[in-house]
Structure 1
Amino acid sequence: MRTFLPLMLLFFCFASYSQTTVTGNVVDNNGLPILGANIIVTNTSQGTVTDFDGNFTLTVSEPLPFSLEISSVGFESKSFEITTNNQVVNAVLVEGTSLDEIVVSASRTPERIFESPVTVERFGINEVKNTAAATFYGGLENLKGVDINTNSLTFQSVNTRGFATFANTRFVQLVDGMDNAAPVLNFPLGNLLGMTELDVHSIELLPGASSALYGANAFNGILFMTSKNPFDFEGISAYYKQGITSQEAAGDNSFFDFGVRVAKKFSDKFAAKANFSFLKGTDWYAVSEKDVLNPGRDRSHPNYDGLNIYGDEVFTNIKGVGEGLAAAGLIPAAAVNLLPSENVSRTGYAERDLTDYNAESVKFDAALYYRPWGNDFEISYLGKIGVGSTIYQGANRYAINNFFLQQHKIEFKNDNFFLRGYITDEDAGDSYDTRFTAVNLNRQWKSDREWFGQYAGAFIQGTLAGLSPEQAHALGRQTADTGRFEPGTPEFQNAFNKVTNDPNPTTGGQFKDASQLRHADANYNFTHLMPDIAEVQVGGSFREYRLNSFGTIFTDFDGPISYNEYGAYLQVQKKLVDDRLKLTGSVRYDESELFDGSFSPRFSIAYSAGEKRNHNIRGSVQSGFRNPTTQDLFIGLDVGRAILVGSAEANLDRYNNTFPISGAGAAATGSNSGTVSGRDAYENAFSLSSVNAGAPEAANVDLVKPEQVTAFEVGYRARLGRVILDMNVYYNQYQDFISNETVIVPLYGEVGDNSLSLLALQQGDVKPFQTYTNSDADVKSYGATVGIGSRVFGNFDLDANYTFAEEDFDQASAPDFRTSFNTPKHKVKVSFGNTDVVKNLGFNINYRWSDAFEWQATFADGNVPAYSVVDAQINYTIPVIKSTLKMGAANIGNNEYFTAFGTGLIGTQYYVSLTINNL
């Protein structure tokens, strides 16, 4: 072990050169310093950025002479030849375009956006400063082709190119190279464990498939968030944001957001930083009482099931209850005929009675950086902790309270390689399922059997007394609800506390989780060894999941479930025709312990045309894949409307449960109960569509396997004087598309073999299961984005973009299959602003319009109406203290809207913020 680290460092550092230091200053053509300008050694990833005053210092191991490329959003890049040590570079950048900005994500190597072979969006330091959204993360919504689904005040989900719910498992978010998806969920909780706005260096977004370089689940897009290195950004900076959220349902509520960053470069060899932020506010209330089963019904209907009312999912046929009462000798047999054959549901509790809507996010991270030889070779440790309270909408609505997520990373890197390993660990804290909390609150004071019995008895009495059916139903509910725990009373609170601390879904609502994800990946760029041949990169990754929900989510009641995945890739890139033509080829192989391996190739071509190389044409074809998620494989959870059972072969017999059956079923089987397993959902079930059509047929659901996509894209970028244009068109063809299929499992009998299973259907002795499988139907999607920007009226920025997205899926060919495309067909976004209307004073206005679309999810399906939103901010820079004062509002006019069916309406956020010494 003592010799391992020196040997590894020697392996990755083939060549060592004497150090060269370059200092300088970057300003615009008005002499104003440019914050965050990129200084990159040409054809390498070595570089730095300018500070608040436009100054920079760069020390590299590159042999003299070499070139520096200096760029910033909105300016033309410039190159400088470096011929001596300690050379001073003073750069004046003239007005240019965002296409000159440097990105790394598209090819894992620095290149201008203009020359990128695929579509890429960037959001940097200046965009963070000028965003009109209440948070920088919310500002990503103004990028073209981007959707943000707002789950709650502290949880927003980024998506591109469709097929997403809040459980967006087709989109990857990397924070300093770490996938910050929660292992139990397989998707990131927005910026709950991201970074503070003070530490954001750059955000890059690749829409579409990226599996060839980034592996599984980089399927519909990938977001890269990169923080500031303390060697380049040192000092103490802080911000404080105060405001109110305004919503008709919740009223006006205050919120605040505070953050501080401390970074110190102790020497050329050692630097460190720490970040802390704390956001607290009131979440958007979800108060819809629309009936999920029949939107035309109101709360007076006997079988009412409100969208944001929980506990009313428990129902039964009231005539069947009467038959049971008669069989027990509690009512005369003749009285059963007075009961209608009609479903009746228990009285539910409103969501606002089941959560305090506390929205809270606490983030802390600390990092140590060591450069043993004072050059580009760096060893670093990064630890991140996130604690938060939010609302998550999945199969049910979950109150995420004191959710704890941590990540720890160790990384070795220089300009030619990186080797990193990290672990993600989570704890569900005091989180609970609001639906099961309501169900079991009802059962705390009265069992379902007793409640429905009292309802039936009162209905019969009311009918005999001459009441109409509507009046008899009202009397039945009133009688059965006698003694009900009322919100706000000590009895309610005591029962609530008991239920939310009980992880047993039959008696409680708590969910527990302590799952982990372990990941390692590496990359080596051989270009410095063959600079005249091609740029060649190789890399690989390994990942292990360790699921530990104590049987509350997964079928891990007898201990943690573990499995792993690994992959390797190769990329070759070559420039030809006087560097106008760029060819890139990539291929990746991935394999899971549970599935066969698969290849993901990508080929792209980009050509810069025109005398000034101001026209860039690009095209690519690539494949991507997505492994089934941990929930697709090992979930075993009864969510009320259905039982969710993952389809890993090892999981099928891990879920078993016993349910009571009807009198007729008991007479036919000789038992008062029936037992079903997860295997029954896949091998002994009726398809839902056939049952609804009155002609029951076997479902025969196949076990889930990896999903694949073949993606085609062409694009065009141009600089036409003061106008920049960026557009793309894409077409995706999916194979083995992963989604859910609901089936009906009889509690007794064999489907297709005897009449017992049909008797179970007739008597209601069945259970709906949600299975995880692949569609045989063709699923395709296509779309386009167009972005145009220019300087108008002198130095005002005007940008606009349009996004079109559509799916091509024949629902009739697979009636039980749901794609959950969940994306508006048309979107328009416009931005207008000026960073210096007068000296130090700037503003920005953003307008967004989104078309109506249908939302499909396990929680509920429904229409999301079209909406228009305006955000605006005005800011004033105070140079003497290197600070910025900002006032702004998101959703000016309080035109309340929602981006997903079942969530709270989004109101307005007004805020004032002060950012001090933001280096």
Structure 2
Amino acid sequence: MRIYLLFLSLFFCSISFAQSSISGSVVDSGNQAVFGANIKIAGVTAATAITDADGKFTLTSSMKPPFVIEISCVGFVSKKINITSSNQKVNIVLSDEETLLDEIVVSASRTPERVLESPVTIERMGIADIKKNASPSFYDGLENLKEVQMNTSSLSFKSINTRGFATVANTRFMQLVDGMDNSSPLLNFVLGNMIGISEIDVQSVELLPGASSALYGANAFNGILFMNSKSPFTSQGITAYAKYGQTVQKAAGTNDYVDYGVRMAHAFSPKLAGKVNFTYMKGTDWYATNYDDKTNVGRDRTHFNYDGINVYGDEVSTNLNAVADGLLAAGVITPSQFAAFDGILPNYNVSRTGYNETDLTDNKASNTKIDFSLHYRPFGSENLEVIWQSKFGFGNAVYQGANRYYLNNFFMQQHKLEIKGKNFFVRGYTTNEDGGDSYDMLFTGINVNRQWKDDKTWFGQYANAYVQSTLVGKNPTEAHFIARNYSDYNIIPGDVPLSPAAGKPRFLPGTSDFKAAFNKVINEASVLSGSKLVDNSKIYHSDANYNFKDIIKFAEIQLGGSYRQYQLNSYGRIYTDADGPIYYNEYGAYTQLTKKFVDDRLKFTGSIRYDKSKNFDGNVSPRVSLVYSGGQSRRHNFRGSFQTGFRNPSTQDQYIGFNVGSALLLGSAPDNLTRFSEVRGNNIDGSGTISAFGQSVLGSNTVVLSGLNAYNNSYTATSVGQFTATGNASLLRKTNVDYVKPESVKAFELGYRSFVKDVSIDINGYYNIYNHFIGNLNVVTPYYGKTQDSPNPTVNPADLGFQTLAALKGGDYRVYQLYTNTDVEIKSLGFGLGLSKKVYRDFEVGVNYNYAEFKFDQAKDPSFEAGFNTPKHRAKASFGNEKLFKNFGFNVSGRWNSEYLWQSTMVDGMIDAATVIDAQINYNIPKLKSTLKIGAANIGGKEYTQVLGAGLIGQQYFASWTINP
């Protein structure tokens, strides 16, 4: 306890032996007090002061004059003042910052440079932007940036995308927080801001759309987001915020929403500083209530083979005609009865009755983030700093991939040790995650059903009821209705001669039987009886960079590299790691040269990077760019660049072995295919019973399949669908795909950025050529026979090709989703325009527009889905004034997108056009050092979707109170 109290006293208290006391005031050009301006002694970050509500400050320091103080505040041009006496008083006037184009960014070239001189398109959000943001959080507000498309899977889980090919599981996009990759070790994609950064700790956000592999490696394929936090040396004190509001959705109703956080930072001396952040958010998630059939437009719940998008358990489906084989084999019916059944039962599939998603989750979304860091500067300056940082994030969210997954008590942590100086950094960090109580909603529905009644019994009862109903004169529609009610609820129409179905009626949501079955299922990991997701995977990463600009004078040269190791550990639930963790590593090195010519108006930047991963050959990624600054003030900046990017197949692409019910996702690493195997047959609930013909071929009612069967003995699912629909065996095509390999892109970009007559202008255009694009291919593997193109349906049953036809007709097959590449070249192109201007006094208007499209010859690869998932047209606008009245400001932002095709491993379909308007008003209370804000997202708009299968996004209203130091 004493140690704890000592730590607190050291953290929040410091003793200063002041020999100099500089006081004064800071005002703007209109002679209004500037609240919150930062004053510090140049080069001594521990000596700082903040102006109060009246713009006054007092800065104390043990340093003796002469020295220089720096005055800075968001929205104003920074200023330096010479101090010559120990008790000097100064009165400072700050000029409004007319343009953001002179802001400094680092990410584009890994070195500080003006936004104007960036060699590639870059978007930036600073402290001032966060203050006027009209969205519920700064992360939500990123959607208003040019180039950004947001995909909302859950209230607490949103993924960012740029330049197309967007999914929730966006493995082509990177997100770095203080240099640490936020990607999940198991899933290889960013989980939104669940382990990101608190909005009161954000110093800046920088976004690079497009390929950045030349500097940042394999995963920076389609964009990268940098979030940088405030230093405890320069931003000290206690900052806190609290938000309360409500979410409104037709399906979920009106529900409370809370979000609050605190930041504590202190510099104990010029050498030592530390900070702690805590944030907590909780609300009711958007209910997912899309009950359209996944694959058949217009089909509803009354259909005998319905498979709803947000309904789970109805994925279990079997051919009714094949059920008779199983009943005969089990001795349930006699051969004469089999003849009658076989003549009546239709030759098509029937599905079990499923459960709605709203019955399988509590629909609660939450996120807690905690981070702390210690910063040590041995020489009392920025020339050398040692940083230890730890981050923890946990909560609840819904993630959508091949299925919908409830991330319940999901936990992720990162720990970093970094040494950085004026021209270098060396860092190492680890990322660990724990799946907590997360579960797969699809298998929850399937196995709650099976807790009540196994599939074989259910389908047998259905078939029996269908036959008996038909025999008394019912038409097929009536017979299906009777059969389902008989199998589910023991309901027997009076004119159908059936005995009551054995057992209790189906478990209904809300009943004790349902709750008991549900709790049992979500706590079991095996997909045979449970749905729990198990994960304890890790990433170990290190990288370094050195800039030789103080050693080499003719040009600025940088050298760097990185190393990463994955430790995949899902205990066999998601990956093929039942016998122990899978280890996988990759490394890379890069160099960059920057040189200015023509009176420093022309800047050349050339970069090249080499990357190597365990299962693939090394890859070289070059980038070259030119920036020309024209005009007398050098504000007309033209840029052009060419770069290649590449992406190694993710760990999922290589090592997954994940049963999602309707298919099994299978990675293509050679050792993964031999390590994976599964037993199929009537000893596994839900796979059906191997047909009588199949048993005669196999000599048993089970079969063992490996990954090699999926790649080397299968038909494409597209051709199987055509065969099923027509009966024409000549349409069948043997799967002929290679194992997954890296994909690549050649990216061309032109741009112009300037500030002309008070108008900020940013124009860019890009053209990308993708080769070996990674995607998914569904294949069908028969349990027996040998697949071949156009097998002959009339030959002897001993023929291996004929046997595959019998397997397809009898349901003796397994569907796999493979990870592979298309040989068809994919091209995308886009155009972006951003304008902003102060139109009257301090009123500011901003607009931006993006056009995006891609070209892919589907006829050349009919089974491949590119998943562009991006609107062709997007327009965004904002209008606001942070100085409308004294201490009062407002901002309104709006965005619109055209409709677009959504393709994913779960469901395909169209997403409608949407218009969304956010608005906020804020009021500063200088005496309380506070800001009040009232805002609304999607104000007055209709509900819309960004991810087909996720809940419709409604309205969100909030009020917040932020206290600044």
Q: Give the TM interval when normalised to the shorter protein.
A: over 0.9
- The equivalent position to 1:389 in structure 2, one of 396, 400, 423, is 396
Within the alignment, does 1:676 sit opposite 2:705 as a pair? yes
Given that 1:884 and 1:916 are in contact with CA atoms closer than 8 Å, whether structure 2 keeps it comes out as yes
* Partner of residue 510, structure 1: 532
Letter of the 2:763 counterpart: M
* Partner of residue 768, structure 2: 732
- The equivalent position to 1:112 in structure 2, one of 105, 111, 114, is 114
Q: Residues 601 and 73 from structure 1, CA distance in 2 versus in 1: closer, same or farther, beyond 3 angstroms? A: farther
* Partner of residue 153, structure 1: 155
Q: 1:334 offset after TM fit, Å?
A: 3.1
* Partner of residue 18, structure 1: none
> What aligned pairs does 1:249-268 form with structure 2 within 5 A after superposition?
249-268=251-270
Q: 1:756 offset after TM fit, Å?
A: 2.0
Letter of the 1:911 counterpart: F
Q: 1:34 offset after TM fit, Å?
A: 7.5
Within the alignment, does 1:297 sit opposite 2:288 as a pair? no
Letter of the 1:541 counterpart: S
Q: 3-state SS of the aligned residue for 2:138?
A: coil
Partner Cα separation in structure 1 for residue 38 and residue 851 of structure 2: 33
Q: 1:322 offset after TM fit, Å?
A: 2.1
Q: Residues 270 and 666 from structure 1, CA distance in 2 versus in 1: closer, same or farther, beyond 3 angstroms? A: same
Q: 3-state SS of the aligned residue for 1:632?
A: helix
Q: 3-state SS of the aligned residue for 1:653?
A: helix
* Partner of residue 852, structure 1: 899
Which stretch has the larger CA shift, 485-494 or 331-340?
331-340
Q: 1:39 offset after TM fit, Å?
A: 10
* Partner of residue 455, structure 2: 448
* Partner of residue 485, structure 2: 478
* Partner of residue 7, structure 1: none
Given that 2:44 and 2:270 are in contact with CA atoms closer than 8 Å, whether structure 1 keeps it comes out as no
Given that 1:52 and 1:882 are in contact with CA atoms closer than 8 Å, whether structure 2 keeps it comes out as no
Q: Residues 841 and 333 from structure 1, CA distance in 2 versus in 1: closer, same or farther, beyond 3 angstroms? A: same
Q: 1:662 offset after TM fit, Å?
A: 1.1
Query: C-alpha root-mean-square deviation of aligned residues, in Å?
Result: 2.7
Deviation string for 1:400-450 (max 9, x for gaps)? Answer: 100000000001011111111000000000000000010011111111000
* Partner of residue 425, structure 2: 418
Q: Residues 128 and 447 from structure 1, CA distance in 2 versus in 1: closer, same or farther, beyond 3 angstroms? A: same
Given that 1:45 and 1:415 are in contact with CA atoms closer than 8 Å, whether structure 2 keeps it comes out as no
- The equivalent position to 1:364 in structure 2, one of 356, 370, 377, is 370
Partner Cα separation in structure 2 for residue 449 and residue 501 of structure 1: 24
Q: 3-state SS of the aligned residue for 1:399?
A: strand
Given that 1:36 and 1:126 are in contact with CA atoms closer than 8 Å, whether structure 2 keeps it comes out as no
* Partner of residue 11, structure 1: none
* Partner of residue 807, structure 1: 854
Deviation string for 1:651-704 (max 9, x for gaps)? Answer: 001211121221121123322122211111111111222223332121122111
* Partner of residue 183, structure 1: 185
Letter of the 1:625 counterpart: F
Q: 1:466 offset after TM fit, Å?
A: 1.5
- The equivalent position to 1:710 in structure 2, one of 732, 743, 746, is 746
Partner Cα separation in structure 2 for residue 49 and residue 183 of structure 1: 40
Q: 3-state SS of the aligned residue for 1:187?
A: coil
Q: 1:618 offset after TM fit, Å?
A: 0.4
Q: 1:320 offset after TM fit, Å?
A: 1.1
Q: Residues 896 and 327 from structure 1, CA distance in 2 versus in 1: closer, same or farther, beyond 3 angstroms? A: same
Q: 1:22 offset after TM fit, Å?
A: 12
- The equivalent position to 1:751 in structure 2, one of 780, 787, 809, is 787
> What aligned pairs does 1:522-561 form with structure 2 within 5 A after superposition?
522-530=544-552, 532-561=553-582
Q: Which is higher, the Rg of structure 1 or of structure 2?
A: 2
* Partner of residue 945, structure 2: 898
- The equivalent position to 1:314 in structure 2, one of 300, 313, 316, is 316
Given that 1:73 and 1:100 are in contact with CA atoms closer than 8 Å, whether structure 2 keeps it comes out as no
Partner Cα separation in structure 2 for residue 48 and residue 312 of structure 1: 66
* Partner of residue 633, structure 1: 654
Deviation string for 1:71-125 (max 9, x for gaps)? Answer: 87766x5786989999999563334112121111111111111111111111111
* Partner of residue 463, structure 1: 470
Partner Cα separation in structure 1 for residue 78 and residue 712 of structure 2: 65
- The equivalent position to 1:211 in structure 2, one of 201, 210, 213, is 213
Letter of the 1:754 counterpart: G
* Partner of residue 11, structure 2: none
Q: 1:780 offset after TM fit, Å?
A: 1.1
Q: 1:754 offset after TM fit, Å?
A: 3.5
Q: 3-state SS of the aligned residue for 1:341?
A: coil
Q: Residues 536 and 798 from structure 1, CA distance in 2 versus in 1: closer, same or farther, beyond 3 angstroms? A: same
Within the alignment, does 1:615 sit opposite 2:636 as a pair? yes
Deviation string for 1:768-816 (max 9, x for gaps)? Answer: 1111111100111110110011011221010000000111111111111
Q: 3-state SS of the aligned residue for 1:755?
A: helix
Q: 1:759 offset after TM fit, Å?
A: 2.1
Q: Residues 28 and 614 from structure 1, CA distance in 2 versus in 1: closer, same or farther, beyond 3 angstroms? A: farther
Given that 1:68 and 1:80 are in contact with CA atoms closer than 8 Å, whether structure 2 keeps it comes out as yes
* Partner of residue 379, structure 1: 386
Q: 3-state SS of the aligned residue for 1:191?
A: coil
Within the alignment, does 1:722 sit opposite 2:758 as a pair? yes
Given that 1:842 and 1:874 are in contact with CA atoms closer than 8 Å, whether structure 2 keeps it comes out as yes
Given that 2:748 and 2:768 are in contact with CA atoms closer than 8 Å, whether structure 1 keeps it comes out as yes
Q: Residues 561 and 27 from structure 1, CA distance in 2 versus in 1: closer, same or farther, beyond 3 angstroms? A: farther
Q: 1:157 offset after TM fit, Å?
A: 0.5
Q: Residues 686 and 718 from structure 1, CA distance in 2 versus in 1: closer, same or farther, beyond 3 angstroms? A: same
Deviation string for 1:831-875 (max 9, x for gaps)? Answer: 000001001100000111011001111111111000100100000
* Partner of residue 339, structure 1: 345
Q: 3-state SS of the aligned residue for 1:279?
A: strand
Q: Residues 314 and 885 from structure 1, CA distance in 2 versus in 1: closer, same or farther, beyond 3 angstroms? A: same
Within the alignment, does 1:241 sit opposite 2:270 as a pair? no
Q: 3-state SS of the aligned residue for 1:904?
A: coil
* Partner of residue 33, structure 1: 34
Q: Residues 835 and 457 from structure 1, CA distance in 2 versus in 1: closer, same or farther, beyond 3 angstroms? A: same
Structure 2: unaligned runs, 5 residues or longer: 1-20, 490-504, 682-689, 724-730, 789-799
Given that 2:37 and 2:72 are in contact with CA atoms closer than 8 Å, whether structure 1 keeps it comes out as no
Identity %: 54
Q: 3-state SS of the aligned residue for 1:209?
A: coil
- Number of matched residues? 891
Given that 1:40 and 1:70 are in contact with CA atoms closer than 8 Å, whether structure 2 keeps it comes out as no
Q: 3-state SS of the aligned residue for 1:264?
A: strand
Q: Residues 461 and 842 from structure 1, CA distance in 2 versus in 1: closer, same or farther, beyond 3 angstroms? A: same
* Partner of residue 741, structure 1: 777
Q: 3-state SS of the aligned residue for 1:552?
A: coil
Given that 2:79 and 2:94 are in contact with CA atoms closer than 8 Å, whether structure 1 keeps it comes out as no
* Partner of residue 643, structure 1: 664
* Partner of residue 701, structure 1: 737
Partner Cα separation in structure 1 for residue 762 and residue 749 of structure 2: 13
Given that 1:802 and 1:826 are in contact with CA atoms closer than 8 Å, whether structure 2 keeps it comes out as yes
Which stretch has the larger CA shift, 665-674 or 439-448?
665-674
Letter of the 1:674 counterpart: V
Q: Residues 36 and 92 from structure 1, CA distance in 2 versus in 1: closer, same or farther, beyond 3 angstroms? A: closer
Q: 3-state SS of the aligned residue for 1:296?
A: coil
Given that 2:46 and 2:234 are in contact with CA atoms closer than 8 Å, whether structure 1 keeps it comes out as no
Deviation string for 1:453-478 (max 9, x for gaps)? Answer: 00000111111122111111111101
- The equivalent position to 1:520 in structure 2, one of 524, 542, 559, is 542
Letter of the 1:505 counterpart: V
Partner Cα separation in structure 2 for residue 38 and residue 146 of structure 1: 35
Given that 2:39 and 2:50 are in contact with CA atoms closer than 8 Å, whether structure 1 keeps it comes out as no
Partner Cα separation in structure 2 for residue 167 and residue 438 of structure 1: 23
Within the alignment, does 1:880 sit opposite 2:927 as a pair? yes
Q: Residues 538 and 502 from structure 1, CA distance in 2 versus in 1: closer, same or farther, beyond 3 angstroms? A: same
Q: 1:177 offset after TM fit, Å?
A: 0.4
Given that 2:246 and 2:255 are in contact with CA atoms closer than 8 Å, whether structure 1 keeps it comes out as yes
Within the alignment, does 1:624 sit opposite 2:611 as a pair? no
TM-score (norm 2): 0.89
Partner Cα separation in structure 1 for residue 678 and residue 303 of structure 2: 31
TM-score (norm 1): 0.93
Q: 1:46 offset after TM fit, Å?
A: 10
Partner Cα separation in structure 1 for residue 27 and residue 750 of structure 2: 36
